Structure 1
Amino acid sequence: MENAPLPFDTRAAFQQHLGEVLVRASASLIMFDPDFALFRLGAPDVDAALRRFLHAGGRLRLALHDPAYLEREAPRFLRLLRDYAHGIECRRTPRSLRELADSFCIADNVHIVRRFHSDHLRGEAAFDAPQQTELSRLRFDAVWAESQPGLQASVTGL
């Protein structure tokens, strides 16, 4: 039986569920957010979880509207991108998709944390629940197909 979604509406609960998704990830992580400001990708604990995941051979794909926040506020993530360039791919959405405002992280197509709108903290998490990830996975694939490479290991792209 599939696990029921766990609703949340606070920053702490979102970040707790995100941490759980990251810890459970083994092969793939896909993430979509307009700017990833609430994902804490530059925080030491998130960096450590992503490094463990990537070191074990995991693949990370991020799609976002604007990389400015990560470039400015997440130097650890930029180092991670440089250190694991073979395992991370980041794409920037075209203008035609900039109205998309949901936010999610899916691990191995079975664990998900999602916020219904990136401007709000209301959302849900589900673990060991592949059916709960299906719509967001399809949405990510469509966004990914329309997007272009968009975040480099350094702001200058070197």
Structure 2
Amino acid sequence: MAELRVVRDAVFVQEQGVPVEIERDALDPLCVHVLARDGEGEPIGTGRLTPDHRIGRMAVLPSWRGRGVGEALLRALLAQARQLRWPIVSLHAQVPAIVFYARQGFLPYGDRFVEAGLDHQSMRLALDTVNAVERRDAGIAATVGVIANARRRLCIYSRELDPGLFDQPEVLAELRRFAVAGGEVRILLQDPAAPQRAIAPLLGLAQRLTSAFGLRAIEEPVDRDYPGAYVANDDGGWYYRPLGHRFDGETRLDDPARGRQLRAHFDPVWERARPCSEYRSLGL
């Protein structure tokens, strides 16, 4: 406990100004804790699972941030939750950390609220099953998760680059990171003129990273009749919407079978589709 508090006091009490009487609660003896240490055994990060199946007290010392410690802590906590056979894990994310948790499959729900003087968002993850996407911010989080876990290729099947989804800063940032790292993004569009008229920001990103992005227009009637939309990666992650003009659907980051099924639908349509020649004026 003393080592846990070295990290938590530094992050929550000293850095964020959380009162010590709030940070140190009666739940600690009832929780499962994880502790990250550096190469010399000094504590650098921590987190816990509470009896009500919630992740909390995630903290990493400032000098260790951005080096994968938080991701390792979260993976360790989820592994513990699976050993305990918990079906769902939830958490209260500080608003700046929403994308961090989205990369691991967590989806937001409920309204934002203030806790210990800081803005928070409730998030949850159903373990080893599909997660329902019921609103736009959950769709954004699901898209971020699928992109973040892609290895080399990402497939996007969209009506018109889905305003409200693929034009969001966190999604664009994740696509940029993936493309710069050498990933390939293939995008199929049913209506390629609509994003051009709207000056969709994803087109600007594709213009700057032409070797990473491919865009094709769907023309075959049998393909144009497909009602859904999806994004799927090459590591078992996907977000599927039965109706392409809506955000509600399902997602999962560890389902290779469904991922292969979506890619098996995507690949032949891609071969039949035409390059988006109308984007040549944009340099694509």
TM-score computed with the length of structure 2 as normaliser? 0.51
Which residue number corresponds to residue 130 of structure 1? Answer: 256
Name the SS for the 2:207 alignment partner: helix
Instruction: Give the conservation status (yes or no) of the 8 Å contact 2:234–2:259.
Output: no
Which residue number corresponds to residue 118 of structure 1? Answer: 244
1:98 to 201, 204, 224: 224
Deviates more, 1:113-122 or 1:48-57: 113-122
Which residue number corresponds to residue 276 of structure 2? Answer: 150
The reply on whether 1:85 has 2:173 as its aligned counterpart is no
User: Share of identical aligned residues, percent?
Assistant: 24
Which residue number corresponds to residue 173 of structure 2? Answer: 48
**Larger RCO: 1 or 2 (CA < 8 Å, sep 6+):** 1
Structure 2: distance between partners of 1:119 and 1:43 = 16
Structure 2: distance between partners of 1:35 and 1:151 = 16
Name the SS for the 1:91 alignment partner: strand
Matched letter for residue 264 of structure 2: L
Name the SS for the 1:37 alignment partner: coil
2:145 to 20, 24, 31: 20
What number of residue pairs does the alignment pair up?
157
Offset of residue 53 of structure 1: 0.4
Deviates more, 1:115-124 or 1:38-47: 38-47
Offset of residue 157 of structure 1: 4.6
Offset of residue 52 of structure 1: 0.7
Structure 1: distance between partners of 2:274 and 2:234 = 23
Shift in CA distance, 21/67, structure 1 to aligned 2, threshold 3 Å: same
Offset of residue 91 of structure 1: 0.5
The reply on whether 1:71 has 2:196 as its aligned counterpart is yes
1:32-67 CA-to-partner distances (Å, cap 9, x unmatched) read 011122463333222211111011000000001112
Structure 2: distance between partners of 1:42 and 1:74 = 10
The reply on whether 1:4 has 2:4 as its aligned counterpart is no
Structure 1: distance between partners of 2:136 and 2:194 = 18
TM-score computed with the length of structure 1 as normaliser? 0.87
Which of the pair has more CA radius of gyration? 2
- Greater strand content: 2
Structure 2: distance between partners of 1:106 and 1:4 = 16
Instruction: Give the conservation status (yes or no) of the 8 Å contact 1:63–1:144.
Output: yes
Offset of residue 147 of structure 1: 0.4
Q: Tell me the C-alpha RMSD between the 2 structures.
A: 2.2
